[in-house]
Amino acid sequence: MYRSRKQYLKAIKVITFLTLFLFIGVANGAESEQQLSRSEIAEIVKEELSRMLNEEGILDSAIDKGIERFIIKQREIARSKQQAASSEKAKNVRPVSVERDHIRGDINAEISLIEYSDYECPFCKRFHPTAQKLIDDNRGTVNWVYRHFPLEFHNPGAQKQAEASECAAEIGGNEIFWKYSDLIYARTKSNGKGFPIDNLVPLAKELGLDEGKFSECLDSGRMALRVQEDYENGVVSGISGTPGNILINNKTKEVYVASGAIPLESLQRIVDQLKSK
């Protein structure tokens, strides 16, 4: 409340002086009709102290700081409640499966970064190398699971790119899925039309995939269901935007929601927190 010890002592002196002065006044005027009550004395002291503090701006400063602390505390409480609610929803996330998922890193890693992503999302593009660095820095401890979450306003591009990546995986396996995905993120300009649909087949050919098989797969639309399954599981797990990240300890099943293109340092803190003691 006080800016310095000097100001604090000054306030104490003022209170003491006023109190003594008023009580002496009461004693001297004990026989008069103007005798002050204890509550009246207290009120005068409060008014004088308030005047002194306001003159120096101490009270205003203290009030401002009090309001600031209150707002910060309320924000912390709100964030804590939001994280708790998000973590509860995140428990609906589909368990990581070697047979079903696209996994980069050690398939037996203790912790998985499950990313629900959109190839046309600029934040996903920014996050892609961050996720890779996390895996590189935590070899054997963390793996990266990619799931599809194409946003409506990025379609048809995002949807077709997701289907194309699944066709690449069907023909070339998990390694080709990641290579195909890496190249889309490296080349797209994002926001829906960043990577032309007409370039999806040439990209597959560039990676050595059979052009005829890839075209047949993409044109058939049969991968749309798989993409939709990822999307729907993301929704029930609390994902509403991309990149939607859920980190999970595969042993303890503890989860942590980390939405957005968060920096590497923040991701690492979450990983350290999730590690089994």
Residue 40 pLDDT: 72
Per-residue pLDDT band for 90 (boundaries 50, 70, 90) equals confident
- C-alpha to C-alpha distances, 5 to 2, 11, 42, 59, 132, nearest whole angstrom: 7, 10, 24, 15, 53
How large a percentage of the chain has pLDDT more than 90?
Answer: 65
pTM confidence score: 0.71
Low-confidence winner among 59-68, 96-105, 162-171, 206-215 (lowest mean pLDDT): 59-68
Question: For residues 215 and 206, is the Cβ–Cβ distance under 8 A?
Answer: no
* Cα-based angle 182, 186, 190 (whole degrees, multiple of 5): 110
Nearest in space to 37 (alpha carbons), one of 26, 48, 47, 50: 26
- C-alpha to C-alpha distances, 76 to 72, 80, 224, nearest whole angstrom: 6, 6, 41
258: left (phi over 0), alpha (psi -120 to 50) or beta: beta
196: left (phi over 0), alpha (psi -120 to 50) or beta: beta
Question: In the structure encoding, which two tokens stand for residue 42, read together?
Answer: 């207290």
Burial-class residue 146 by CB neighbours within 10 Å (0-12, 13-18, 19+). Answer: buried
Positive or negative: CA dihedral 50, 53, 59, 62: negative
- Residue 43 pLDDT exceeds 90: no
Q: Which of 28-32, 44-48, 90-94, 232-236 has the highest mean pLDDT?
A: 232-236
Cα–Cα distance for residue pair 232/236, rounded to 1 Å? 6
Strands 111-117 and 244-249: antiparallel
Per-residue pLDDT band for 91 (boundaries 50, 70, 90) equals confident
- Residue 59 pLDDT exceeds 50: yes
Which has the higher per-residue pLDDT, 13 or 133? 133
List pLDDT tens digits, range 216-273.
999 999 999 999 999 999 999 999 999 999 999 999 999 999 999 999 999 999 999 9
Cα–Cα distance for residue pair 82/203, rounded to 1 Å? 41
- Residue 119 pLDDT exceeds 90: yes
State the chain's mean pLDDT as an integer.
85
Question: For residues 169 and 101, is the Cβ–Cβ distance under 8 A?
Answer: no
Residues near 247 by beta carbon (within 8 Å), at least 6 away in sequence? 111, 112, 113, 114, 255, 256, 258, 267, 270, 271, 274
Residue 39 pLDDT: 74
List pLDDT tens digits, range 187-216.
999 999 999 999 999 999 999 999 999 999
